[in-house]
Amino acid sequence: MEIDPTSLNSWLNDSTRKNPVLIDCREVEEHAICKIENSELIPLNELAASIENTDYNSNDDIVVYCHHGIRSLHAVQYMRAKGFNKALSLSGGIERWASEIDQTIPRY
């Protein structure tokens, strides 16, 4: 149910694969500090309603992230229970992404 930052980065840079949908499940204030490029903000407390009202379907590759990977893991568990079986959580969240992949991202 998780993907590590190196694997996600490779996926995003692989021109032979369609990029996953990136969902940031942090709060608006956190998203304003930093984010992964091309991600969509859907705070965890809005996820249930938002997922029902989007164009996402159960066949979409979706990667959810938060600050440290805890909230995103809860989001992915919920999404998988709703049939989004390809949903993954970014292990270690944006904190690990900033440490291992993009050191220009502000850390908090």
Residue 79: the pLDDT is: 96
Distances (CA, A) of 74 to 5, 13, 66, 71, 87: 18, 27, 10, 5, 11
Distances (CA, A) of 66 to 10, 31, 76, 94: 19, 9, 11, 6
- Edge-first strand order for the sheet with 87-90 is 2-3, 87-90, 62-65, 21-24, 39-41
Residue 54: the pLDDT is: 80
Q: What is the pLDDT of residues 6-48, one digit of tens each?
A: 999 999 999 999 999 999 999 999 999 999 999 999 999 999 9
Query: Average per-residue pLDDT in the chain?
Result: 96
Report yes or no: 1 and 73 within 8 Å, Cβ to Cβ. Answer: yes
- Domains of the chain (ranges; CATH) run 2-100 (3.40.250.10)
Residue 93: the pLDDT is: 98
Cα–Cα distance for residue pair 63/106, rounded to 1 Å = 20
Percent of the chain's residues with pLDDT above 90: 91
Rounded to two decimals, the pTM is 0.96
Give the pLDDT mean for 48-77.
Answer: 93
Helical ranges in 34-69 per DSSP H: 47-52
